[in-house]
Amino acid sequence: MQRRTFLSQSLTTVTAAALPASSAVAMLSAGSREESLASIASIPVIDCHTHFYDPRRPEGIPWPAKDTPLYRPVLPEHLRAQPQHRPLTGTLIVEASSRLEDNDWLLQLAQDDPFIVGIIGRFTGVASPLSDDFRKQVKRYAANPLFRGIRVGSGVIQEFLQRDDWAALQLLADHNLVLDVNGGPDTPGLIGAAAGKVPQLHWILNHIGNVRITADQPPADWQSGIREAAQHANVYCKVSALVEGAARDGGRAPDDSAFYRPYLDVVWNAFGEERVIYGSNWPVCERAADYRTVQRLTLEDAATRSPTALARFCHLNARVAYSWPERNPRP
């Protein structure tokens, strides 16, 4: 089937959230500007990187620290109340705690609120040789379809590369769990070296590698790492923490999308429109920009890429990457 024919119908008549990802993309309009704008208005938006926590819990929280603006209850209703460039349809929570038991607290939040499509939690002993304890953690949490994977730091990936024992990550893949990876600008290169060792596992690069974003050209080493990671079809890149990368010295981040374009071009050119995912890093992003600005900067950029890029960026790619269960009703 010709691509133009494949994209001939509009999302004005079929809601993408109710379809498999491949079918939803097929319904995107490649016609007139008016049709495209109507389609854009109906695209669901899933924020795939938020942190929820509540310091009022009897056991408290390990992060963030007291006496900081982030130390307050941060729950789904607070995210929904944020002024938004486009209304959110849902969110994927990423762990904000080193405590294994906080996975259960997040799952309880998700169980009671269909706005939450799933959570990325945390396990202990990830980088150690495969243990019975780690197996138990995987088996226990994978049994809940709302638990979609875990997040690790880039140092864990370095340990795997040094040891060359991938059994723990293969176990995640065998249970349909994904791996979010957070770290500095060398993280894309580390993922590029590791992702081929466990090709069945979906690897999600967080925050485009936390590269410092300036008016200068993107660092060559970071660009090379992005391209190395993108060579693996099982690696996705989350465009999150963008404004934090532009406001490392305090103050507010630039609110002109053109400022970020050279960095976003590197990501989109390497990963293509099928493996780039929207995330805000809220509420951490508040240090650099309000939520509406964070949304606008990346969604407007995605909308310029292709007729299908925005829908893929807003939710379709993430549905493929994370395989979250459909929940009804969702706002």
State the amino acid at position 82 in one-letter form: Q
Burial class (CB in 10 A: 0-12, 13-18, 19+), 175: middle
> For residue 16, what pLDDT is reported?
40
CA 180 to each of CA 20, 108, 151, 239: distance values in angstroms, whole numbers, following the listed order:
23, 21, 4, 13
Residues 6 or more apart whose Cβ sits within 8 Å of residue 305: 268, 273, 313
> For residue 165, what pLDDT is reported?
95
Query: Across residues 4-31, what is the average pLDDT?
Result: 40
The distance of Cα 299 from the centroid of its chain, to the nearest Å, equals: 14
Q: Which of 284, 282, 295, 240 is nearest to 263 (CA)?
A: 240
Query: Across residues 46-59, what is the average pLDDT?
Result: 97
The DSSP annotation for 41-58 comes to HT---EEEEE--B-TTST
> Which domains are present in the chain?
43-322 (3.20.20.140)
Record the pTM: 0.89
Q: Tokens in use for 263?
A: 């960095």
Least confident of 2-6, 37-41, 259-263, 270-274: 2-6
Query: Across residues 258-267, what is the average pLDDT?
Result: 97
> For residue 330, what pLDDT is reported?
55
pLDDT over 70, % of the chain: 87
pLDDT digits (tens, 9 = 90+) for 90-142: 999 999 999 999 999 999 999 989 999 999 999 999 988 899 999 999 999 99
